[in-house]
Structure 1
Amino acid sequence: MNGIKISNETYYDKDHNKTFSYQEKYKSFSIGSVFSTLVPFYANLLKPIVGDKIEETFKDFALSKEQTEQIQAVFEEQIDLHIPKMETKLPYDNFIEWKGKKYEMNLRLHSPMNRRIMDFYKIITICKECLAEDKPMSIE
């Protein structure tokens, strides 16, 4: 597996530059590289939900409502685990609100834990939108 894409719409049948890059209604999260240690990390988090399908090459696998809820729960748990480990050394440039508390996020390259928390938050946001609008979340 070279990468993972999670989106609120089918991804494969759209021109990325005309949709996901410029229109706010299209949201996606992607991680990818043959050399990335994050791809196996995310694959391991998703594997209990999508099974061995995560090891296959496929395009736009639509997740059920239950699978979307499970993914949301997994990444909420990851935020709960990682928020206490956040780096808070430099001025902040992004914020998230989590469980009634506002967290300032330092997203510079030397703050990988904060970057990971923001990625988890983005996935949760996609899950919540898909559940609220009763549409399938897509994974590729």
Structure 2
Amino acid sequence: ESKASGGSLEDAIRIHAGMHGGLDGLLVKMESIDEAAFERLMQDAGIRGVSRSEIVRRIRLMSSVEGEECIKVCARSLEEAMEAFSGDRASFDDYIRRSMSSGDNSMGMDDEGDRGFSVQLDSVSLSKSGGTMPEDFSHDPKAMIARLKQKGRQS
């Protein structure tokens, strides 16, 4: 097997693939350059005694293996995510049921005594809060924009 100086042919291909946007980018370059440019590239890479057809064949092989590995990893990740979701389906359904139920639990107390969080945006809860509006509060958009545009004003 012919080698690149300092490493294997596949190592040299991977190094150069990184400079050309991956194996597919390197393959396009190898197929599009003329013989003189190919020889210069091989010399710069320290690769001797390897034909263009052999380089192209290796790049295609490496690219197909890389693609298959990616597909396997993606499929495995998807299966793991689906399994994790379906394995915890009961607690997820319970969470949705608790979240969507409209009981008198203003603090979101569930059957087991756990406290949840409630925003309490209903009108009864809002009227109970004793907050006061700021004196300069305005819903007028023009007044707000004018106030924001005032230079040097401290908020």
Q: Same fold (TM over 0.5)?
A: no
TM-score where L is the length of structure 1: 0.28
TM-score where L is the length of structure 2: 0.26
Higher strand fraction (1 or 2): 1
Tell me: higher relative CO, structure 1 or 2? Use CA pairs within 8 A at least 6 residues apart: 1
Higher helix fraction (1 or 2): 2
